[in-house]
Amino acid sequence: MSPSVAPSLSHAERFARLTALLAESQPLWRPLPFQHRASPWGEASLALDAALLALTEDEAARLQDAPFTDSPLAEWLPVAKLEALSALPELKGDGRALPAAWAAHVGGRKWSQIEAFLPRVAAAPEERLVEWCAGKGHLARSLSRRGETEVTALEWQAALCQDGQRLADRQGAAVRMAEQDVLAPEAGRWLSSETHVAALHACGDLHARLIELCAAQGSAVTLAPCCYQRTAASHYRPLSQGGREGVAAQGLSLTREELAMAVQETVTAPRHVRVRREQAGAWRLGFDLLQREVRGIDAYLPVPSLAYGQLPERFEAFCRWAAEQKGLALPAAGIDWSAFETAGARRRAEVRRRELVRHLFRRPLEVWLVLDRALRLEEAGFDVELGTFCARELTPRNLLLRASRRADHG
Ligand SMILES: C[S@@+](CC[C@H](N)C(=O)[O-])C[C@H]1O[C@@H](n2cnc3c(N)ncnc32)[C@H](O)[C@@H]1O
């Protein structure tokens, strides 16, 4: 299958094919390479593992950034199918640029995202606009100014509402910041068949709630979802009936932690952050080898994460900190720190290559999750468009769902 074939698929068909592919590939993407001392796929994939380990630094970095492009792993993995099924078109906007002056008080990257998102909010003139999980209502202000219309912005933090209201009043934008927990039972009162909800980067349960309320009340919606793993449920339960049937039939199951794989593609961090992150990763793997030896148990031991800037200066200090976290007594003398540090660095290079297998499934999983949201709304009688709203360099969470209830549907 070539990448150009899949865009013509219906959402249901694309979802079904992705469900099957994700389900049959579970043994490939589920194992976390950093938890394993050797290949996490066992005897069955020795050739794949050897090919991964043979990748040069440059080739591994290239595939990390563009997992589908000229992948030497295509011999063993369904690279072309994954690429085709996760390729979505760019959704068209109205092409009207926003005045630069409206960017005042908005962070540079967030403003660029708003510039890309807002022209794609195709609200009908008679629809009342609502922003969902609005923060300070940056999107709401521009929506209001562009449409010369009132926008209600829902946000549960009182301080953000106050700041947002001040900004809107100062700029003469007709925004009403409303303090509202969108998960509370009464949140549905803001939605009706006459509203259009805009939600830029609303997390897991917050956007799932929005979808459910739109389905129930008939509100139109333009949503860029993010952080699918921010959910109260420990295991993913598809929103759509088709999704629930699909996962049951195919035996696909996803924990909350596995949902995070869909959003692990991050915009490249500055070099000094990357270097430090690599160092932390290598030290963790070095400590892992040490703890296996000290405990006499050849099994991975999770160590809490450290905020950026908290990493000790030296490997030994890191190991002593990690051991303390785990209540592990390290011998006072006789540890060859430099040998463990070197082994950790070697293992880090291997893990980075083995993680390329999971990278291949990140975007397909994200697209699968968005398709589930699309199907939920289609099942409720909505027309749904899915696509991208900006380049992934601006934000990797660049998928957009646009939906409105079909006129012939109650
Ligand atoms: C990821 S931010 C998105 C903010 C804004 N849309 C943007 O793109 O910058 C999520 C926002 O949701 C708000 N939020 C979190 N939980 C909420 C809830 N239960 N009800 C309403 N707002 C909530 C947070 O306070 C935060 O302002």
- Report residue 314 as tokens: 């030296």
Residue carrying structure tokens 């009706």: 192
**Closest ligand 1 atom to 113 CA:** 8
Residues 79 and 156 in one domain: no
Identify the H or E element spanning 225: strand 220-225
Cα of 33 vs centre of ligand 1, distance in Å, is 33
- Whether residues 277 and 222 share a domain: the answer is no
Average pLDDT in the 126-153 region? 97
Residue 15 located in a structural domain: yes
pLDDT band at 309, cuts 50/70/90? confident
Residue 26's pLDDT band, with cuts at 50, 70 and 90, is: very high
E strand or H helix at 153, and its extent? strand 151-155
- Residue 263 falls inside a structural domain: no
pLDDT digits (tens, 9 = 90+) for 207-230: 999 999 999 999 999 999 999 999
Calculate the average pLDDT of the chain: 94
> 372 to each of 232, 287, 348, how far by Cα in Å?
18, 40, 35
* Number of domains making up the chain: 2
Instruction: Please indicate, yes or no, whether residues 114 and 219 belong to a single structural domain of this protein.
Output: yes
Q: Does the residue 265 lie in any domain?
A: no
- Same domain? 306 vs 386: no
Same domain, 216 and 280: no
pLDDT-based confidence at residue 251 (cuts at 50, 70, 90):
very high
Instruction: Specify the residue with its C-alpha closest to ligand 1, atom 4.
Output: 135
Looking at the structure, do residues 46 and 115 belong to the same domain, yes or no? no
User: Is residue 178 domain-shared with residue 210, that is, in the same domain?
Assistant: yes
Model confidence at 410: pLDDT above 90: no
The CATH number that applies at residue 120 is 3.40.50.150
Residue 55 in domain: yes
Q: Is residue 302 part of a domain?
A: yes
| pLDDT band, very low/low/confident/very high, at 88 (cuts 50, 70, 90) | very high
d(CA 398, ligand 1 centre) in Å: 17
Q: Is residue 245 part of a domain?
A: no
Q: What percent of the chain has pLDDT over 90?
A: 89
Contacts of 231 by beta carbon, 8 Å cutoff, 6+ apart: 204, 205, 208, 256, 259
Query: Does residue 3 carry a pLDDT above 80?
Result: no
pLDDT of residue 318: 96
Distance from the CA of 123 to the center of ligand 1, in angstroms?
Answer: 22
Mean pLDDT of 314-324: 96
Residue whose CA is at the smallest distance from ligand 1 atom 27? 135
The protein residue with its alpha carbon nearest to ligand 1, atom 19, reads 181
The least confident of 169-178, 258-267, 334-343 is 258-267
Among 133, 142, 185, 183, CA closest to 161: 133
- The DSSP code for 176 is E
- Check whether residue 277 and residue 357 sit in a common domain: yes
Q: Distance from the CA of 307 to the center of ligand 1, in angstroms?
A: 22
Does one domain contain both 77 and 106?
no
Give residue-wise pLDDT tens across range 181-210.
999 999 999 999 999 999 999 999 999 999
**Contact status, residue 369 vs residue 207, Cβ threshold 8 Å:** no
Determine, yes or no, domain membership for 243.
no
Does position 5 have pLDDT exceeding 50, yes or no?
A: no
CA dihedral 280, 285, 288, 290 (to 10 degrees): -90
Return the ligand 1 atom nearest residue 184 CA: 19
pLDDT score for 269: 73
Residue 12 clears pLDDT 50, i.e. is over it: yes
Task: State yes or no: pLDDT of 77 exceeds 90.
Answer: yes
What is the Å distance from ligand 1's center to 23 Cα? 32
Residues 335 and 390 in one domain: no
From CA 376, how far away is CA 192, in angstroms rounded? 18
Task: Give yes or no: residues 129 and 221 share one domain.
Answer: yes
Indicate if 287 and 186 belong to the same structural domain: no
- Please determine, for residue 368, whether its predicted confidence score (pLDDT) is greater than 50: yes
pLDDT (mean) for 318-333: 94
Strand partners, 342: none
Name the residue at shortest CA distance from atom 11 of ligand 1.
Answer: 133
| Calpha distance 257→264 (Å, rounded) | 11
Per the listing, tokens 């990763």 go with 281
> Do 93 and 101 contact (CB within 8 A), yes or no?
no
Residue 44 binned pLDDT confidence (cut-offs 50, 70, 90): confident
In the reported structure, the alpha carbon of residue 136 is separated from the centroid of ligand 1 by a whole-number distance in angstroms of: 9
Rounded to whole angstroms, the Cα distance separating 75 from 71 reads 9
Ligand 1 pocket mutation, candidates 156, 161, 400, criterion most atoms within 8 A of CB: 156
pLDDT value of residue 270: 79
Q: Relative to the CA of 187, which ligand 1 atom is closest?
A: 20
Closest atom of ligand 1 to 114 CA is 8
Tens-place pLDDT, residues 256-294: 999 999 988 666 677 888 888 889 999 999 999 999 999
Sheet with 220-225, strands from edge to edge, namely 175-179, 151-155, 128-131, 195-202, 220-225, 399-405, 382-388
3-state secondary structure of 164: helix
DSSP character at residue 395: -
Whose alpha carbon is nearest atom 12 of ligand 1?
Answer: 133
Least Cα distance to 144 among 167, 162, 161, 160 occurs for: 167
Q: What's the chain's Rg over C-alpha atoms?
A: 24
Atom of ligand 1 nearest to the CA of 199: 6
Q: Residue 267: its pLDDT value, please?
A: 61
Q: What is the pLDDT of residue 101?
A: 94
Residue 111 domain boundaries: 100-226+380-405
Among 113, 129, 155, residue to substitute to test ligand 1 (most atoms within 8 Å of Cβ): 155
Ligand 1: residues whose CB is within 6 Å? 110, 133-135, 154-157, 160, 181-183, 200-201, 203, 206
Distance CA 28, CA 41 (A): 7
DSSP assignments along 44-109, one per residue = GGHHHHHHHHT--HHHHHHHHH-TTTT-GGGGTS-HHHHHHHH--PBPP---PPPPGGGGTTS-HH
Give the atom of ligand 1 at the shortest distance from the alpha carbon of 132.
Answer: 6
**Which ligand 1 atom sits closest to the C-alpha of 131?**
6
User: Which own/partner pairs from 26-33 qualify as long-range (CB within 8 Å, at least 24 positions apart)?
Assistant: 26/252, 28/77, 28/357, 28/361, 29/261, 29/357, 29/358, 29/360, 29/361, 30/258, 32/358, 33/350, 33/351, 33/354, 33/355, 33/357, 33/358
CA angle 372, 226, 104 (to 5 degrees): 140
The model's confidence at residue 2, banded by pLDDT at 50, 70 and 90, is very low
pLDDT grade, residue 6 (50/70/90)? low
Query: 410 lies in a domain?
Result: no
